[in-house]
Structure 1
């Protein structure tokens, strides 16, 4: 078992406007302090040129008119960095390769230097410790009776990911944080 006071991380989720990873249109974070959900936030983000693809809109429901007056990624990231990254050095995401590449591609586009962060993937952990036929975030949360929000909205997905990871920690004694 783990000591809750040692569990501190940010679960992070990105929604994109197009198939380009640097087209972030929403960022969501869920802050976990001492093993408890402390805060969940999300920001609409104006992607470069505010262009969207039909299928992305179908997934998350965010449209160009929703983000035309939103800050760009640089502005949102500066707030996240200023407010949270002095305290946290670990990101948890459900499908780290996607979320990490969104962050990296956006950082390249906006010429942002990213700090070194540890990444933990709740999807990979779920595949190791559960035997469900599906490992999507919403399915796992439903199966494990974890509070759900609106799937494919970044803040809700970040919180669902945080709660899933906390459950994964409870479910296994062999996994070390």
Structure 2
């Protein structure tokens, strides 16, 4: 991780369950520049709540012919590769990733992850660090609650925050706020443990 190489992802869900993704958007950055993107509708094989539909506009009929997570998983894992991944408010998206992967009995990847929302909280002087408000701060316009657009904006935000911190790698950016990477298959994104000086 010697460069600004990372993948940002975002889920929309069919209901309040963490096992109900109905779409995922992923954006890959290499050397601080956008490299590629992936958008996939997903059949969650669960009921849709009207409240969720109002947020993202995805209806059950939109995903009838879409792959379920078991079928979509290989292409998603291939896209991510071994890069660190991020999401804006990663607690939600990482838990969706974990819960849905476990639902289908699939192995969790070993990728490290970090949170663009936490980064912005530590770096930017804003009262709220919701995705749309951080985007406004950087003059980025987008269609909120579309998984690919949300991922793309969060990826842009990561790059902007790295520029502010003068971080030439994701590891340096995470370290600059005193945090340590989480692991998709294990630990969470938390503050670094302080070591006692002798």
Partner of 2:63: 67
| Among candidates 139, 155, 166, match of residue 148 of structure 2 | 155
TM-score normalised to structure 2 length: 0.81
Contact 1:89 1:116 (C-alpha < 8 Å) held by counterparts: no
Q: How much does 1:80 deviate?
A: 1.4
Residue correspondence of structure 1 range 9-88 to structure 2 within 5 A? 9-49=6-46, 51-85=47-81, 88=82
Q: Which has the higher helix share?
A: 1
Query: Counterparts of 1:90 and 1:151 in 2: how far apart (Å)?
Result: 24
Query: Counterparts of 1:143 and 1:45 in 2: how far apart (Å)?
Result: 32
Partner of 1:102: 96
TM-score normalised to structure 1 length: 0.90
Partner of 1:140: 134
Partner of 2:184: none
Partner of 2:105: 111
Select the structure of larger CA radius of gyration: 2
Gaps of 5+ in 1: none
**Cα root mean square deviation, aligned:** 1.7
Residue-pair matches, total: 170
Deviations 1:9-30 (A, max 9, x none): 1101111000000100001100
1:169 and 2:162 aligned: yes
